[in-house]
Amino acid sequence: GARQQTELCNESLMLEKLPACGRSFEEMMKKVDSKKWCNLTEFIMYYDNFTQCTEREANNASCFWPNPLTEGFITGIHKQFFSNCTSEKVHWEDPPDEILITLILIPVMLTCAMITLVVWCSKRSDIL
């Protein structure tokens, strides 16, 4: 039978080539206002080119993609460009007391009215 040849991942070659992807991405990101670096729609094409570059270099070195080394490199790029991009957490506050009391009392009053109506109708079942 035919022998299948498997190549080992050349990590040093991959690590030598990945910085070119980072430099290319850095050059493309210079076209984007740094205030818009947290808006993915502003640079999605550049980021796509960057990830394709890292995948291509990993494959050229006979390495799987993603792998821990490329993930570490990509994380470094993220720290460089996107460290100030945090998801804003919504800070929930209670409504003012007047609104809160109204929102509580309306269902309570409707429940009392419905109970009163049911009791009244059940006592007057002889008329209905």
For residue 44, give the CATH number of its domain.
1.10.150.510
Domain membership flag for residue 122:
yes
Total structural domains in the chain? 2
Q: Which residues of 2-31 are buried (b: 16+ CB within 10 A; e: fewer)?
A: eeeeeeeeeeeebbebbeebbeebeeebee
Angstrom CA distances, 101 to 46, 95, 113, 121, stand at 52, 10, 18, 30
Interatomic CA distance for residues 67 and 19, integer angstroms: 16
pLDDT, residue 87, reads 67
CA triple 8-47-14, angle to 5 deg = 20
One-letter identity of residue 41 = T
What pLDDT is recorded for position 5?
40
61 and 118 in a single domain? The answer is no
User: 108 in a domain, yes or no?
Assistant: yes
Given this model, what pLDDT does residue 3 score?
Answer: 41
Residues 78 and 121 in one domain: no
Same domain, 73 and 22: yes
Q: For each of the chain's 128 residues, which pLDDT tens digit applies?
A: 344 445 799 999 999 999 999 999 999 999 999 889 989 899 999 999 999 999 999 999 999 999 999 999 999 999 999 988 876 666 778 889 999 999 999 999 999 999 999 998 888 776 65
Residue 90 placed within a domain: no
Q: Tokens 């419905």, residue?
A: 114
Shared domain for 73 and 99, answered yes or no, is no
Q: Tell me the per-residue pLDDT of 10-34, one tens digit each, with 9 for 90 and over.
A: 999 999 999 999 999 999 999 999 8
Domain that holds residue 21: 11-82
